[in-house]
A and B are shown apart, each in its own frame.
Chain A
Amino acid sequence: MLNRLHGPLGWTLLFLAGLLFPFVVGNDYHLTVMSTAYLFAIATLGLNLIVGYTGQFNLAHAGFMAIGAYTVGILTVDHGFSYWLSFVLAGAVTVAVGLPLGWVSLRLKGHYFSIFTLCVGYIIYLVIEKWEDLTHGPVGIIGIPAPEPIGDFGFETPRAQYYLMFFFLVLGVWAMRRIVNSLLGRTFMAIRNGDDLAEALGINLMRNKLLAFLISVLYAGWAGALYAGFVRFLGPDIAGVHHTFDMTMYMLIGGLGTLIGPLFGSLSVPWITQYLQFLQEYRFVIFGPILILLVIYLPHGVVGTWLGWRARRAAQVSAAAKPE
């Protein structure tokens, strides 16, 4: 029974659940929570590509999300660009910033890469906070317009916004699925499993790492652009490393290097925190130790552990089927 859920049928069911969700909950607030979760899920999908699939722990991810968000904020509010044009440019700007940063940082390996990107994230945060002429500094950008209607479909109501986020999440998952199941995805995984091994296979390390990095930050940039049009207010806080930590937690709870894992994590954790309202501020008193326990006892996350169990069972079944 569970096996059938794996593959196209499972994805279709998830898709239908997402489509019907607004009709099940009657409450705008719940729609907002879910839309926010979708938005961070998009960014987490990107983070998972570079961390889970390629094995490079990029701690500047929230910084790239902020670059996308601020591109939209600055272009729409200060320069009168339309939302959708800014949205497209946000992707371009994020990749343009990511290219030199990725090139410099990916020359470093392992811990050095993580520490370096931690610093890069901090630089992005500080630049946003200090460069007041461009970013409005700590005051933030207020009054970002909602996305303009496409045809008859406007994006003012919570339900319309929900479907907008849902659309991009579906698009993001679809594209990511194409990537990780392609030769390119295998290449990334080969790099994760060992630089030397991958190089021995004839893989150009730098080019492929950089490609994974750029796709990853593109997801972050567009998630940020969506965030800007959804929340319609931006402060430097969006670049804070705690957002990267949040996304890391989503990824780890679900399962690193799986497609469904980060989705599971980023859609379930916000709901848990919703129901533990009193915890909002102090949620990490509980989530911190959970993160540690997961890393120690369940390093592949909920989904990863299940997939591993399934694979082992399948191996046993096929071994039993062969009398040899």
Chain B
Amino acid sequence: MEIFFQQVLNGLTLGGIYSLVALGLTLVYGILHVPNFAHGAFYMVGAFVAYTLMTRWGVNYWLAMLGAGVVVAVLAAISERLVFHPLRHESGLHPMIAAIGLLLFLEAGAQVIWGPDFLRMPTPYTGILDLGGVTAPVQRLLIIAAAFTLMLVLHLFLTRTVMGSTIIAMAQNREGASLVGIDANRVAMLTFAVSGVLAAFAATLYAPINLVYPAMGHLVITKAFVIIILGGMGSVPGAILGGLIIGFAEAFGAFYVSDHYKDIIAFAALVVILSFRPQGIFKGGH
């Protein structure tokens, strides 16, 4: 039984991180209908910025996370302006290739600035709690708490503030939103900034139990894509639920099936599900 709860804990940790990354991706897709392949690079830059703030300037963990959030938000908003905005009327291939160009640039840039090495991010929370037989590293509990708090904050932001509502309005109906006076350009930049903040926070939360390196975003972003396909591209609840499903599938799969092949589980699930339901599980047809 303890082993089972141990996996639940792991599933929540992974699921929380995946959901945060997938949320940013799905918000951007909802607004611009672009699969932002560079989102994983935002995640990676977030981790590096937090790492630098903490190790070089001795900034406190939470402030470093905030700093990373601000830097990546600005970076994401600029990317929207310079890369995606000029292509907003194009569909299909070209925005995707532009996103790939951005991804390649950011990764190479990170390699120039921080080098190709694997770095370990320090965390002040190294303790381990014992919850009735289940050993819970504090960092993992922190990830779970922070991830779900962030989701709640995002939910409140999207539903209770005017700024957040403009994002929802744009995603629902572009022309309608323009008609009532919503500035499409501002909303697009805002959405990118929000997605950047989420990616940077997720990276800073997860990096202490993982490693920081230029290609660290690859696997996370690919899984986030799996999640938003499963949850329906552009759907906020779908991203959270999908993230948790993949997180749990991986945690339990790693333990009960094979730790060696755990990274394949998410993709295999995608292939199997899409073979039977090309429109995803939560969508009534596309």
Binding site for B on A (CB under 8 A): 51, 55, 57, 104, 107-108, 110-112, 114-116, 118-120, 122-123, 126-127, 130, 241-242, 245, 248, 252, 256, 281-285, 287-292, 295-296, 299
B225 touches A115 (CB 8 A): yes
Contact of B274 among A51, A104, A130, A284 (CB under 8 A): A104
Contact of A248 among B100, B107, B112 (CB under 8 A): B100
A119 touching B87 in the complex, CB below 8 Å, given contacts A51-B93, A104-B275, A289-B101: no
Q: Can you list 13 A-B pairs with a CB-CB distance of less than 8 A?
A: A104-B274, A112-B278, A115-B225, A118-B225, A122-B219, A122-B267, A241-B218, A252-B97, A281-B116, A288-B106, A291-B98, A292-B101, A296-B86
Residues of A within 8 A of B264 (CB): 123, 126-127, 130
Asked if B153 is an interface residue, CB under 8 A from chain A, the answer is no
How distant is B286 from chain A, measured CB to nearest CB, in Å?
8
How distant is A105 from chain B, measured CB to nearest CB, in Å?
8
How distant is B226 from chain A, measured CB to nearest CB, in Å?
6
Contact of A299 among B94, B105, B111 (CB under 8 A): B94
Asked if B83 is an interface residue, CB under 8 A from chain A, the answer is yes
How distant is A143 from chain B, measured CB to nearest CB, in Å?
26
A282 touching B111 in the complex, CB below 8 Å, given contacts A104-B274, A108-B278: yes
- Please report the C-alpha to C-alpha distance between residue A256 and residue B37 in the assembled complex, in whole angstroms: 20
A123 touches B105 (CB 8 A): no
A287 touches B104 (CB 8 A): yes
A116 touching B108 in the complex, CB below 8 Å, given contacts A122-B267, A295-B98: no
A296 touches B87 (CB 8 A): yes
B225 touches A291 (CB 8 A): no
Binding site for A on B (CB under 8 A): 29, 33, 35, 37, 82-83, 86-87, 90, 92-98, 100-109, 111-112, 116, 218-219, 222, 225-226, 229, 233, 260-261, 263-264, 267-268, 270-271, 274-275, 278
- Please report the C-alpha to C-alpha distance between residue A172 and residue B188 in the assembled complex, in whole angstroms: 44
How many contacts A-B (CB < 8 Å)?
115
How distant is A285 from chain B, measured CB to nearest CB, in Å?
4
- Interface SS, A side: helix
Residues of A within 8 A of B112 (CB): 282, 285
Residues of B within 8 A of A123 (CB): 264, 267-268, 271
Residues of A within 8 A of B33 (CB): 111
How distant is B271 from chain A, measured CB to nearest CB, in Å?
7
B270 touches A116 (CB 8 A): yes
Residues of B within 8 A of A248 (CB): 97, 100
- Please report the C-alpha to C-alpha distance between residue A289 and residue B83 in the assembled complex, in whole angstroms: 9
How distant is B32 from chain A, measured CB to nearest CB, in Å?
11
Contact of B35 among A114, A130, A285, A295 (CB under 8 A): A114
- Please report the C-alpha to C-alpha distance between residue A130 and residue B261 in the assembled complex, in whole angstroms: 7
A107 touches B278 (CB 8 A): yes
Give me the 10 closest cross-chain CB pairs, A-B, nearest first.
Answer: A288-B105, A291-B101, A284-B108, A284-B104, A292-B101, A288-B104, A285-B108, A295-B98, A115-B225, A123-B267
Residues of B within 8 A of A108 (CB): 274, 278
Residues of A within 8 A of B87 (CB): 295-296
A112 touching B105 in the complex, CB below 8 Å, given contacts A127-B264, A248-B100: no
- Please report the C-alpha to C-alpha distance between residue A295 and residue B104 in the assembled complex, in whole angstroms: 14
B97 touches A295 (CB 8 A): yes
How distant is A107 from chain B, measured CB to nearest CB, in Å?
5
Residues of B within 8 A of A120 (CB): 267, 271
Residues of A within 8 A of B98 (CB): 291-292, 295-296
Residues of A within 8 A of B92 (CB): 55, 57, 110-111
Known pairs A108-B278, A119-B222, A248-B100. 12 more at Cβ < 8 A? A104-B275, A110-B92, A111-B35, A111-B96, A126-B263, A242-B104, A284-B105, A285-B112, A287-B101, A291-B104, A292-B98, A296-B87
- Please report the C-alpha to C-alpha distance between residue A242 and residue B101 in the assembled complex, in whole angstroms: 11
Residues of A within 8 A of B82 (CB): 292
Question: Which partner residue on chain A sits nearest B91 by CB separation?
Answer: A110
How distant is B220 from chain A, measured CB to nearest CB, in Å?
12
How distant is B118 from chain A, measured CB to nearest CB, in Å?
15
How distant is A309 from chain B, measured CB to nearest CB, in Å?
20
- Please report the C-alpha to C-alpha distance between residue A285 and residue B101 in the assembled complex, in whole angstroms: 9
A256 touches B93 (CB 8 A): yes
B109 touches A285 (CB 8 A): yes
- Please report the C-alpha to C-alpha distance between residue A20 and residue B63 in the assembled complex, in whole angstroms: 63
B104 touches A245 (CB 8 A): yes
Contact of A104 among B103, B222, B263, B271 (CB under 8 A): B271
- Please report the C-alpha to C-alpha distance between residue A296 and residue B86 in the assembled complex, in whole angstroms: 7
How distant is B196 from chain A, measured CB to nearest CB, in Å?
18
How distant is B259 from chain A, measured CB to nearest CB, in Å?
11
How distant is B22 from chain A, measured CB to nearest CB, in Å?
12
A119 touches B93 (CB 8 A): no
A57 touching B96 in the complex, CB below 8 Å, given contacts A114-B35, A116-B229, A123-B271: yes
Residues of B within 8 A of A130 (CB): 260-261, 264
Residues of B within 8 A of A112 (CB): 229, 233, 278
B274 touches A116 (CB 8 A): yes
